[in-house]
Structure 1
Amino acid sequence: MDSAELRGALEDAGLSQYQAEAYNTLLQLGAASATELADACSVPTARIYDVLRDLESKGYIETYEQESLHARARDPKDVLTDLRGRAELLVDAADEIEERWEEPEVDRHKVSIVKRFDTVFDHATAAIRDAKYEVQVSATLEQYRELKPALEAASRNGAIVKLSIHTPPTGGPDLPPSSMFEGATTEVRHRELPTPFVALVDRTETCFAPHAESLNQYGVLVNDYTLTYVFHWYFQTCLWEVWDVIYDGRADMPPMSYADIRRCVRDIEPLLNDGVELTVSVEGFATETGENVSLSGTVVDVLYEGMRSTEGPPPLSQLAGQVAIYVETGDGVVTVGGWGSVLEAVEATRVTIEAVDGDRRIVER
């Protein structure tokens, strides 16, 4: 580093142009009178005394009287400590800028765009581990193996876990045995197409990244109820509904729990049509106030678009609009909807079939 570069660095460290010039010159001279120092550098004689006082107050030099004012550089230990501390602070600032550029803080934004898949995957893992109600995941087999401990934690929390496994159309790995999914998932389906990584957690968190062969590589992190609902329908229609079930850990007799009101209506409507009495419990919140709600009673009817226009369980296309169940609680009939409820009294986060009159199976396999 030459003298000009050193002066520039000292200015970056907080010295003025004249202070940096005077200190740099004094380092070369060792000691000098104020007038000698002014002659040796570009600081005007009229300013040299103020410059020396400022440098002394900052700890760079010391002054003394010897017929006239003289100055010499102090032991640079304190100066070096200050400069190195500033350097470390700048390095830390650079690291922080890089981190914030690559990974915006999710809690300050409803939507964050990130550059690295690892950021998406790590956020999904943390969100899944704390899930309480429902997890929907689209992943490769390798990604599933990495997520399995978090999915097991979610299952222990009581969350319903839906997993869409995707493999290449040809030459993909063999699917693992059903035991690989036990304890970590509720139901698994298989899709033989390149598929994005998706994780939806408790109706609020979305973690999305394009599939590995996509030209554009980025990630999306969403912390928003409404936007996550949009991703939910993408998951239902593209990654779930039409694909083969390869593992089903759901119960087929009470108690049987649902996080999805549409799935519940599909299963119970045939029983209601046969006159079977269904006792349910519901956990959720009031759509008008947001207060938590717990209720139990008997299902007296269901509601959805195009009711009873087809034989058997209704297709998903008939369940895209309003869907509700009517529960007689003893204090009156309560309308219970699912995710996105507006017209119903309660948005259910969990519907549990507690009893079925006549010992009927809810799901036939």
Structure 2
Amino acid sequence: MTDDSAAALLEHLDLGEYESTALTQLLTLGRTTAPNLAEATGIPRARIYDVLGTLANVGYVKEIPGRPKEYEARHPEEIVDRAIENRRQSFESFRTDVESARTEFLAQFGPLYERANEDVTPTEDLFHVVDVGEPSETETRTLYRSADREIEVLTKSFEYFESIRPAFADADERGVSIRVLLLDPSHLSDHNRSIQTDVVETLNTEFPDVELRFSNERLPWRGTIVDPSMDYETGKAIVLVEEKDIPLSMRQAAVTENGSFVAGLGRYFELIWAHESSPVE
């Protein structure tokens, strides 16, 4: 591996130049002392202990007590797991901070926004589009957290479940009714069937209140519907139309808060759930 390729991989860990250099050397050479590492890497001795301390604090390096103290990189798989957990904790801290400011933010800026738009003729777009992948998953997580009464999911194998799992769990803990309509396994590839089996097992084990059924036939779209209402006033949804010849990376999902449109989606879900699906055994 070249220095450039190693540096490119380590960019994902959000490390400084010295930290990346030190970690690469420890992964390559194994356990060593701080002075030896400074000499091998060219990192100034005045900085090497701070660099190693930073790596230890984020969980990428172990400190080995002794005279002299030694340092050792953790296994690469453990480093990746630590990096993901560090980012998750950072995000949860960020979310907590933002939520704590919600009331004050709305109180200060809500009236300003209303006054600025009070003379504007209201319009309502039917939907807006987002790319499939992280943007659509972010929108889906937002829908889950906004749900008050019910969430309805139409999906092939629910392959994106892990990416929205915290929001899913939050809705379940708040007592939101969740129903998941999965595509019958007979219509899935071996790969997607395996994914679906694992997701169904997780849902049955960890979320026993969630209702599951298999759609008997392939569906023309998939997505998430939140709080549909027959008064056509409320509800939100994200929808992805099936396009077999277009890869997911090139597709877009539609997000809507149009109450009438969401009511129609909800009615479609109810009909398939009641008449064109079977229980998950």
TM class by smaller structure:
0.3 to 0.5
Normalized against structure 2, the TM-score is what? 0.33
Where is the helix percentage greater, Structure 1 or Structure 2?
2
Higher RCO (CA 8 Å, separation ≥ 6 residues):
2
More strand by share: 1
Larger Rg: 1
Give the TM-score normalised by structure 1. Answer: 0.26
